[in-house]
Structure 1
């Protein structure tokens, strides 16, 4: 037993010495212990959610982790990468590494370019600030007519530097890689005028998004900071895409309008947010008459302390074409590290 232990210990020392020698001989090579900047980050987030007429409350675990690394290639180019897991969820099924933004890129004074899986430029604006608190069930993934992606693999994205308050983002790539002619193009622009307000614009076009249907979407929004800790955000989104509601009309070409309005107020560590979002009735190409308009209103109370953010969210919605509005509540806490 002692002989085996000694052999193992000697082998480990030799291996460690070899790794050190390899690092010295291959400085800057990926996969070898070197001076790359490596950062482990994540979000610890859990909440209890309950909806009227549901089956009871549920703990939703949205915790996730990621790794970032990078190193200067030369004086003008910094090469970096990121791998991020999905939410833990009920049993970790969706928590695989690479589920969220995972890419390799480079950046400099000229901006940055990334290749891999990441948010599309337009969806990044949809997600924030216009889908919080709890407005995503209508303004985001709750749309009856689907026309754009959210987080997308197989794309390249360029983000410009800031030009005196103006910046833009562009993404290109494949749509569904298994469908011939399925491609993606996205763009967004942002302009902040004298720190008074910020304008956002987004556009996305996807060929052969579903079958042979091409889709497009655009968004126009504004963020207005007001005196005394107040802020107002509002956006309009237009979808020209595929009807996604179950039934005889599913898969039909359709159009739908969406709006979102969010008010926010902070007083020291205390924050309050009130939001409203609504979808209009979809206009189907087959002229079918559908009554699928829906809306959500939600308020959130928050307290920010040492990086922790406990919150209480209460709202009401009829998303998913419910006959009556249903109340919902969420009590949770988040911490970024």
Structure 2
């Protein structure tokens, strides 16, 4: 047999052996036929908060000036049909690009199951039902500086995004009502630190949607060396006056009670509301908003908890790319741990940015 024939025969035998091995390879589950989607949001803006800064002696120094803020995010979604009434789904998302980038999974990242008739259940990291409403649309156009202040110590009356949480979202009942329930660990992994929350949305008529939500937590890390119980309640509405004109408003009230007496304070309460209107004229969007917060510490009025925001926005959408100019007046009182404790301030924020999805 010639060298060529021997080589050809060897190749055929090797290929046959490999094919047989592949046919008998053991596989767990079915081949990967999940529906996978890559999605994201580009959101970059130049902003000047015009906030005053001071050195150690209390002398005013130059502020940050115009800076770039990058809220872009990217994520992966996948779903796999299990049977006629059950689908498994997941999501992994990153966002808020800081100087050192963004960590994969720092935004909503979860696994769950859903069905058209009974809704969905998820486990992992996601927004709480109450904060999902507080964040949008009721804190739009930087009204969150006043209406959403859970990021500041001493005002953490509710959580925003929790990593160890289970959440149930109902389907829409009668094209009118849906609700969500959630629970999980609170500020720590201890058995005594936990939270529960829920929300409900009702659309009694085509142009009106009403929202309500609550949240309660035990052993919340509320402020420096202060741990206690928190509770918060929320109500809001969205009303379409016309197809291109809507108004929205929300109110929230919340309280904190320390577990131990003798700390910096023992009780704290806040009340806050936001109002806004949006008018769409072709590809243009015009928004005006106002938000206000007042608070008490140990049953006494506390100016450090008083804030207001007046905001206006003009935006233009071209092929789903939204470019905007936003101006917001933030007013409040300097905290007791700053050089200008007790004095009032008015900072005029200017933001120019663009947002679009992919």
> How far apart, CA to CA, are the structure 2 residues paired with 1:320 and 1:67?
42
Please give the secondary structure, in 1, of the residue aligned with 2:133.
helix
Superposed CA offset, 1:249-291 (max 9, x none): 85642011001001111111111111110101x2222x55521
8 Å contact from structure 1 (residues 307, 335) kept in 2: yes
Residue of structure 2 in register with 1:147 after alignment: 157
Contact 1:207 1:214 survives alignment (8 Å): yes
Q: Is the contact made by 1:317 and 1:325 (CA closer than 8 Å) also made in structure 2?
A: yes
Match of 1:237 in 2: 252
String of CA shifts for 1:23-66, please: whole Å, max 9, x gaps.
Answer: 9863745xxx6211111111111110012243211011111111
Report the structure number with the largest CA radius of gyration: 2
- 2:170 corresponds, among 135, 157, 160, to 160
C-alpha contact (below 8 Å) 1:60/1:90 kept by paired residues: no
Moved over 6 A (4+): none
Q: Distance in 1 between matches of 2:228 and 2:309?
A: 29
C-alpha distance in 1 between matches for 2:301 and 2:216: 26
For 1:117 and 1:215, locate their aligned partners in 2 and report how far apart those are by CA, in whole Å.
Answer: 21
Please name the residue that 1:214 is paired with. Answer: 229
Partner of 1:277: 291
For 1:320 and 1:78, locate their aligned partners in 2 and report how far apart those are by CA, in whole Å: 51
Match of 2:84 among 47, 71, 75: 75
Q: Out of 302, 305, 311, which is 1:290 matched to?
A: 302
Contact residue 23 and residue 34 of structure 1 kept, 8 A: no
Which residue is equivalent to 1:59? Answer: 68
Question: Could you give the per-residue CA deviations for residues 203-227 of structure 1, whole angstroms, max 9, x where no partner exists?
Answer: 0010111265111000011111012
Flag the 1:23–1:87 CA change in 2: closer, same or farther, 3 A: farther
1:112 corresponds to:
120
Per the TM alignment, residue 303 of structure 1 is displaced from its structure 2 partner at its CA by 1.0
Q: TM-score, normalised on structure 1? A: 0.85
How big is the alpha-carbon RMSD for the aligned residues of Structure 1 and Structure 2? 2.5
Distance 1:70 1:50, change over 3 A: same
Query: Cα distance 1:136–1:249, how it changes in 2: closer, same or farther (>3 A)?
Result: farther
Name the residue aligned to 2:331: 318
Q: Which residue of 1 aligns with 2:12?
A: none
Listed as ranges, the gaps of 5+ residues in structure 1 are 1-13
User: Among residues 93, 97, 110, which one is paired with 1:103 in the alignment?
Assistant: 110
Structure 2 gaps of 5+ residues are 1-14, 53-62, 335-342
Q: What secondary structure, in the 3-state scheme, does the structure 1 residue paired with 2:132 have?
A: helix
